[in-house]
Amino acid sequence: MTYQNILTEVDGKVAIITLNRPQVLNAIDDSLMDELLSALQKFDADDHIACMIVTGSEKAFAAGADVSKMAKMGFNEVYRQELITRNWDQIKQIRKPIIAAVSGFALGGGCELAMMCDMIMASDTAKFSQPEIKLGIIPGAGGTQRLPRAISKSKAMDLVLTGRMMDAVEAERAGLVARIFPQADFLKQVKAVAHEIAAMPLLTILMAKESINTAYETTLSEGIHLERRLFHSCFGTHDQKEGMAAFIEKRPAKFTNT
Ligand code: CO8
């Protein structure tokens, strides 16, 4: 697939997908989402890749859904054709970790896209908001569901009902953002984290992601049951033997993803 709205790059075991609609601050439309999903699926199936980064420009991760396209839409077509959000749920099927590297604006659908990734790394310029209410709509790609889980009901209400922006420090304090890096070497720092993850045993990476994400979908006892089963499954991998032998022999582990 030739991409018009994203750029892709591979750096060792890390794939970087850059949203690329600079003229509209990476506003998200269906074709951008089609391409993003296609690239994520391609890297997920690629045995040479272990971790993915989704990023935007220095000014904007993504300034939300494309308002000029949405402004022309009516209830009949958006509802009947599942416009705007039709393929978002498929991102959940990606099994390898995805880091959202957010610099500048992550607004509306941009904030929701970042929250669909497995963790958010922010530059010190990042700004998050769900400004939909100012346009007469509510968040439509998980904002009202993932924000309360990430940052509490009270803070989610504050953001969704006022549409105000939250800076990187507030977002990190609230639990939305994992780490903040200075803008000057932001992507370099996020790539270093991605390489650190990618050096871990792949089967174990996949099991850890699956187990953590299950915490959002199920009861505590069912989640703990799944975790126990996956934990036991780790003992069937070569990399568990290697990781523990390397620890005992005081040498670096050589993982083979088996
Ligand atoms: N859609 C379309 N065009 C946009 C968008 C957008 N979301 N955001 C910015 N642009 C365009 C501007 O219209 C402008 O175009 P032009 O140069 O032709 O006038 C260009 O990008 C640059 O923007 P600004 O001149 O406004 O730049 P500023 O630095 O002055 O301001 C802001 C930056 C604060 C980000 C401002 O552009 C802004 O407020 N943007 C809109 C933010 C917004 O309301 N986002 C929420 C959209 S609704 C939504 O996301 C619903 C999600 C539903 C589910 C998810 C589906 C994908």
Report CA(257)–ligand 1 centroid distance (Å): 42
Would you list the DSSP string of 162-187? H---EEHHHHHHHTS-SEEE-GGGHH
User: Which residue is listed with tokens 């990190």?
Assistant: 172
Q: Using a 6 Å cutoff on CB, does residue 27 contact ligand 1?
A: yes
Give percent of the chain above pLDDT 90: 96
Q: Give the count of alpha carbons within 13 A of 192, CB side only.
A: 7
Q: Using a 6 Å cutoff on CB, does residue 65 contact ligand 1?
A: yes
What is the distance between the alpha carbons of residues 251 and 235, in angstroms, rounded to a whole number? 20
User: Contact at 8 Å (CB) between 172 and 180?
Assistant: yes
Q: Of the candidates 146, 152, 101, which has an alpha carbon nearest to the alpha carbon of residue 124?
A: 101
**What pLDDT does residue 171 have?**
98
Q: What is the mean pLDDT of the chain?
A: 96
Tens digit of each residue's pLDDT (9 = 90 or more) over 15-38: 999 999 999 999 999 999 999 999
Beta-ladder partners of 166: 128
Ligand 1 closest atom vs CA 105: 35
Q: Of the candidates 206, 204, 244, which has an alpha carbon nearest to the alpha carbon of residue 118?
A: 206
Total-model pTM: 0.96
The confidence band for 175, taking pLDDT boundaries of 50, 70 and 90, is: very high
Report CA(99)–ligand 1 centroid distance (Å): 23
Catalytic pick among 109, 110, 142, 143: 109
Ligand 1 closest atom vs CA 33: 57
E strands, 12-154, in order: 14-19, 51-55, 60-62, 98-102, 105-107, 119-123, 127-129
Q: Give the count of alpha carbons within 13 A of 87, CB side only.
A: 14
Report the pLDDT averaged over residues 105-113: 98
What is the distance between the alpha carbons of residues 258 and 50, in angstroms, rounded to a whole number? 13
- Rounded to a whole number of angstroms, the distance between the first and last alpha carbons of the chain is 30
What is the distance between the alpha carbons of residues 211 and 220, in angstroms, rounded to a whole number? 11
User: Contact at 8 Å (CB) between 101 and 190?
Assistant: yes
Residue ranges of alpha helices (H) inside 58-178 are 67-70, 75-80, 109-116, 143-151, 153-162, 168-174
Alpha carbon distances (Å) from 86 to 47, 63, 187: 28, 19, 30
Give the β-pairing of 14-19 and 166-167: unpaired
**What pLDDT does residue 86 have?**
84
The answer to ipTM > 0.95 is yes
Q: Using a 6 Å cutoff on CB, does residue 68 contact ligand 1?
A: yes
Ligand 1 closest atom vs CA 64: 50
Strand order across the beta sheet in which 60-62 lies: 60-62, 105-107, 127-129, 166-167
The confidence band for 115, taking pLDDT boundaries of 50, 70 and 90, is: very high
Tens digit of each residue's pLDDT (9 = 90 or more) over 73-107: 999 999 998 888 888 899 999 999 999 999 999 99
**What pLDDT does residue 238 have?**
97
According to DSSP, residue 123 is labeled: E
Report CA(128)–ligand 1 centroid distance (Å): 13
Tens digit of each residue's pLDDT (9 = 90 or more) over 148-168: 999 999 999 999 999 999 999
Task: From 25, 88, 166, give the residue whose CB has the most ligand 1 atoms within 8 Å, as the site to mutate.
Answer: 25
The confidence band for 1, taking pLDDT boundaries of 50, 70 and 90, is: confident
- Cβ-based burial of 64 (10 A; exposed 0-12, middle 13-18, buried ≥19): buried
